[in-house]
Amino acid sequence: MLLFKLPKYVVSGVRFSPDGRRLLVTTGEPAVLVLDALTGATVWADRHSQLVHEARFSPDGRAVFDMVVGRDHPPRVHTCDADTGRNRGSVPVAGGTFALTPDLKHLFYTAPAPSHRAAAFLVRADFATGARLDTLELSAGAHAIAVSPDGRRAAVRGTFQFALIDLARWSVMYSLPLTNSNAVAHGTRFAPDGRHVVSSFGPRLNLWDAETGGHRGEVRDTGSHVQDLAFTPDGRFLLTASNDATVKVRETNTWGVVKSYTWKAGKLRCIDVSPDGTLAVVGSATGKIVVWDVDL
């Protein structure tokens, strides 16, 4: 196990690179950090004048994409070289959160609606140019957008709505209204095979069939709000990170807890599993990052 601390930071997001050797870290501050996953050493840090909302690696690991949000400038999604942090360009967005299709052709984000007919729009844009291609009405802006591994579905987790989107038909397959009590936690992931999607609603996990849009059930966590979640690459297990400083491992056939971890790292904010399934990582509200060997 490796534990290291980022001074003065809350770790709001952490993701493994596709080769599992690096960590991409966001902190809610004007910076993106790339760290060595085995030592915690900083590989590079990209400083911005505005807050970095979230970031992710490209599927081939050669680029980093991050959303920068500020009061004085319109939000943009930046592309950086994954090895050096050098800026390759950016496209304008409307803020909130973003997601990309696996082929990097399309960019998704939410935008305020121009009328009172809807609270927000989900926007599909050309990632190369930033040109808007489609909009879809939503009842609220999004905290998280996830795209299925095959690029056919998107799950949008907002403050007052969860929506499962058929991207080919550009239509809502399933919509669930939410309350304020569910808004504080919004981890959302597709299973590696793309057949189902899981989203956290406070202390509960809700499951959907990604092919039909059918609601498959709800699992209540025994602890506090689930902040983030991640599947193992084989899809057999789901790891959750909660406010009670605990990681729980659930077997996805029964959704029962088979293992749990507690490192006294503080309230956990984010979690990920390496692409080969050998390592997992969590980030906490106290700036601590824990990397450990997955033994399941």
Domains in the chain (CATH in brackets) are 11-47+54-91 (2.40.10.480)
Beta carbons within 8 Å of 23's beta carbon, 6+ residues apart: 14, 15, 16, 17, 33, 34, 35, 36, 37, 281, 289, 291
CA pair distance 64, 124, nearest whole angstrom: 20
169, 170, 174, 179 alpha-carbon torsion, rounded to 10°: 180
- pLDDT band for position 183 (50/70/90)? low
Encode pLDDT of 206-248 as tens digits.
Answer: 999 999 999 999 998 776 789 999 999 999 999 999 988 999 9
| Residue 142 near residue 155, CB atoms below 8 Å | no
pTM of the model: 0.93
Q: What does each C-alpha distance from 201 to 176, 221, 242 come to in angstroms?
A: 11, 10, 12
Phi and psi at residue 180, to the nearest 5°: -60, -30
pLDDT at 6: 86
Q: Give the chain's length.
A: 296
Task: Read off the amino acid at residue 100.
Answer: L
**Mean pLDDT in residue range 164-169:** 96
